[in-house]
Structure 1
Amino acid sequence: MDNLGAPVSYLALQAHLPVYDRDGNRIGVIEHVLADEGSDIFHGLVVRAEYLLDRPVFAARGQIDTLYERGVTLTVTADDLREPAEDPIAADATDDSVAEQAREGLRRAWEWLQRPQ
């Protein structure tokens, strides 16, 4: 495992940071940080699991050991992580309709920016 830097808040986490299991094995990268920043509630992480051929898994807050500047360590092994669909909040974050809505919103914004003024 590489030097992951100093511990940080969930607010500093970014997509694509590596995630390591309790044995130090890299299992994937952060896909989504699940939190309600307004209420300061950290729910967990959706991880793009490389060991599962790039499928997402969910790491609940209680399964996360430490959040670092350049990665995350878990208190469990990769086999202990479950599908995002098994958690309502994680399921919403990985729902294709949410991604489609975001793409549509970005498309409309781009079209608006391209209109002659």
Structure 2
Amino acid sequence: MQSVTASAQTDEVAAGDALFKGNCAQCHAVNEQVVGPALAGISKRRPVAWILPWVKNSSKVVASGDEYGVALFNKFNKQQMPSFALSDKEITSIIAYINSQEGNVAAREVAVVVGCQ
């Protein structure tokens, strides 16, 4: 039973990888800030119940007066994140992908530095 669960998680991460590259990578990276914030740790900063409506329509979340959303909007020079017509399952797949990638850049940088010495 565990191998089925592991396989399902692998499939979810693979789906999230493709969705991230097709929808998010233009403005976001997992471990570094680009146009928008780095997404590593997003599921620790905000619950999925907040992330889903944010991805679908961040301007609506900001307009509602959501404190975190307004602060994020202001921090990134009032740059509006586009709305995405993604299902909850697609968004949670992207979150699974982000969670699988957290820290990978830092680990590669440490390996390069150690290899150079």
TM superposition score normalised by structure 2: 0.31
Between structures 1 and 2, the one with greater strand share: 1
Between structures 1 and 2, the one with greater helix share: 2
TM superposition score normalised by structure 1: 0.31
